[in-house]
Amino acid sequence: MSTETPTLETPDHNAGQWVPLARIQDFAGKDRIIIRHEGKQIVVFQTDNGLHAIDNRCPHEGYPLREGTLGKADGRCVITCNWHNWKFDLTTGDNLYGGDKVRAYPVRVEGDEVLLDLTDPPPAVKQRQALDNLTDAMDDNDSERLFREVARLERAGADPMDAIRHGIRMTFDKLEFGFGHAYAAAADWLAIRDRFPDSPDIRLACLVEPLAHMADDTVREETYAYPDVATEWDADAFVAAVDAEDEAAATGHLRAGLRDGVSLDALRHVFARTGLLHYAAFGHAVIYVTKAFELIERLGAPVTEPLLLALMRHHLRARREDLIPEFRDYAGALTEMRTAAGGPLPTPEDYRSLNVKKALSLTARCGLGDPEGLFRVLLEANAWNTAAFDVSWMAKKDVKPDNSVNWLDNTHGITFSEAVLALCRRYPDLWAEGLLQMACFVGRNAAYTRPGVPGDMPAEMTEEWYPALLESMIDHGQDAFIVAAHVIKTPTAAEALRRQGFGSPILAHGVNRFLAGPLDLRQVRRTAKQALAFVALDS
Ligand code: FES
């Protein structure tokens, strides 16, 4: 695995591969000539600053730079590609306006012969240059360029995972609220990429989508540095610091744990605890734990600290919904569940139309005698709420912000459940929190369902269900990265549940309905009405 930034060597052009490719007299009456050599097309310009050679192919969309306009800027010779007005320094190939750089070749004249140095840079230099170009593309939030630069990085022989490592290391401290959908979706995109070993376009798309999302999330953001402190590892103290929103203390414990080699499993356990400490952030706090550790296991040490710092910040800053009235019964239900004698499990139908308070009460009374049995019931109840979601709520104009729901909110009942299963099977001490928070989702989503489930329910959730969706998931056509992330993560979570024996027709049907949309989230008139009503009450 190549994780280190390659050392940038200075090419020794005196020792290069100088090839005579033209004669001075070829320029008679011309300020540019085209040279064709071993599949390359190089344009050589004659300027009052001497000869300059660059690739003829514009690195943007491939139009010929020989058709460009020569000029000067700050004493430099510049070629402008007239298709989209990109400008290149003829000496270095640097892009002065636009995006990608063009390759420039050293030129010298001996007698009347024009020689070009065609020496290819060593792979390590090419890889370093490709990573530098990737940085530029990320900084510019230029997703089209990202496709080209990641393709160039792979072509330079780099480990393609270096692109993702680089993206994470570039962005983790530009996230004011920590870990977000871009990282979470990256774990799913990379897993999907594994399924297509023979499809270069899909494999590239699966790398670039999460990078473009990271760039979009952090464009024009300042750096929100994490405290540079390492104290001592203490899991309970870390949890307390996160709960107290004390980033300095939490960072000190975390950095010390990483310094002291605390195992990934111990770290995942403590993050599962902080993620489930509250019913928080619409379940993201828990979903992100599973995705962070999937990424760490795949990408290794270079991303461990960045991802865990970002995850810690997300847990610190997450809104704690169990502290607002709708979910305030959560704390009492947690106490009750841990001591309840238990009894027969309810059915998914028993949860129909229950509000959060009643869903919590029903769940707590079950106790912890059969957590996986109760998990199955709650998963089915959540899946029913997705399958029966009343999409008319998405278009309502006269609703309060709390009732401005959409498909993305609804799907968290499923993605959160999958994360609960993954974490609580590893750490059974957390079942009570996981199950009760699933009940919170059941109660909150039930309010936005219709009486029956529309559409044709599949007879079963087969192992062909997910593979049949993949190509349309990848080619999602969504402008908003957050929507694309949900299109990726929701079926992926459902498939993970199926593989573990929790698939069902209602689960497949709910996800199918979500994918069919509508997925347009912006409701400008509703937002305008809410703003007007709110501002009218300002003092
Ligand atoms: S093709 Fe040259 S700038 Fe677009």
485 Cα: distance to centroid of ligand 1 (angstroms): 31
- Model confidence at 14: pLDDT above 60: no
Region of poorest pLDDT, from 7-21, 196-210, 432-446: 7-21
**What pLDDT score was predicted for residue 532?**
86
Q: What is the mean pLDDT of residues 63-73?
A: 96
Best probe residue, ligand 1, of 66, 69, 84, 145 (max atoms within 8 Å of C-beta): 84
Output the pLDDT for position 517.
84
Give the residue-averaged pLDDT of 385-404. 84
What average pLDDT does this structure show over 345-366?
96
Q: List the residue whose alpha carbon is closest to atom 3 of ligand 1.
A: 84
Give me 122's structure tokens: 């060593």
Least confident of 397-401, 460-464, 473-477: 397-401
Give the closest residue (by CA) to ligand 1 atom 1.
Answer: 61
Question: Distance (Å, rounded) from C-alpha 188 to C-alpha 491?
Answer: 10
Do residues 27 and 33 make contact, with C-beta atoms less than 8 angstroms apart? Answer: yes
Is residue 7 scored above 50 in pLDDT? no
Q: How far is CA 47 from the centre of its chain?
A: 46
Closest C-alpha to ligand 1, atom 4? 84
Residues 342-353: what's their mean pLDDT? Answer: 93
119 pLDDT exceeds 60? yes
pLDDT at position 16 is: 73
pLDDT at residue 395 in the model:
79
Asked if the model's pLDDT at residue 323 lies above 80, the reply is yes
Residue 200 CB partners (closer than 8 Å, separation 6+): none
How far apart (Å, rounded) are the C-alpha atoms in residues 457 and 506?
7
**Over residues 287-300, mean pLDDT:** 98
pTM of the model: 0.92
> Given the CA of residue 85, which atom of ligand 1 is nearest to it?
3
What pLDDT does 2 receive?
36
Asked whether the predicted pLDDT for residue 387 surpasses 70, the reply is yes
- Ligand 1 centre to CA of 392 (Å) is 45
**Averaged over 108-125, what is the pLDDT?**
94
Model ipTM over 0.90: yes
Q: What is the largest CA-CA distance in the chain?
A: 98
pLDDT at site 8: 33
In this structure, the residues whose C-beta lies within 6 A of any atom of ligand 1 are: 58, 60-61, 63, 81, 83-84, 86, 98
pLDDT at 11: 38
Which pLDDT band, with edges at 50, 70 and 90, does 15 fall under? low
Once rounded to an integer, what is the mean pLDDT over residues 468-472?
97
CB contact burial 316-353 (16+ within 10 A = b; e otherwise): bbbebbbeeebbebbeebbebbeebeeeeebebeebee
pLDDT digit string, tens, across residues 121-136: 999 999 999 999 999 9
In this model, does residue 276 exceed pLDDT 70? Answer: yes
Q: Is the pLDDT of residue 231 over 90?
A: yes
The pLDDT of residue 10: 37
